[in-house]
Amino acid sequence: MDASSPHLVELSRLDRILNSIMGALVRVGIGPSHMRVLEVRGRKSGRIYALPVDLLDHDSQLFLVAPRGHTQWVRNAEAQGEVTLRRGRHATRYQVRPLADAEKPPILKDYLDRFRREVQSFFPVKAGSPLEDFTPLTDHYPAFELKPLE
């Protein structure tokens, strides 16, 4: 990947299958309490896309991190400025605010430390690494602060 290409890690077929299963479970309210189904409108198609995500509560604020990089959901969320997070019958719409690179290190560290089983393979540093190890990674990992719209 050259310097002008955005960081993106493709999912394996097994990961896609596991995401589908986990998304179905979270849609009916089963699974880890931090998981939600993210719904975002496609920027070109207008279609609603859905996938399971790990919702980070950091200092009483909610964040989404894209461990695979600049994925389609990230681009759609940036274009729309909002997403819906669903768990069971409960759904909440959020305004998304992309974090500046300078804001990301503590969020990336907390995200990796909390969800290492799910996301360690997407990070070049190990969970538990010092905060300064995350500074060089900030342009590879989009992150958003969430503010409820409802």
SS3 content of the chain, % helix, strand, coil (to 5): 35, 30, 35
For residues 27 and 87, give the distance between their C-alpha atoms in angstroms, rounded to a whole number: 5
Among the residue ranges 23-32, 98-107, 121-130, 138-147, the one predicted with the least confidence is 23-32
Task: Give percent of the chain above pLDDT 70.
Answer: 85
Domain 13-148: which topology?
Pnp Oxidase; Chain A (2.30.110)
pLDDT(2) > 60: no
pLDDT(9) > 70: no
Provide the whole-model pTM. Answer: 0.87
Mean pLDDT in residue range 14-31: 71
Mean pLDDT in residue range 55-78: 95
For residues 49 and 29, give the distance between their C-alpha atoms in angstroms, rounded to a whole number: 18
Is 23 in contact with 51 (CB distance < 8 Å)? yes
Dihedral sign, Cα of residue 20, residue 72, residue 44, residue 96: positive
| Domain segments of the chain as ranges | 13-148
Neighbours of 135 (CB within 10 A): 12
Q: What is the DSSP string of 120-136?
A: GGG-SS-TT--GGGGGG
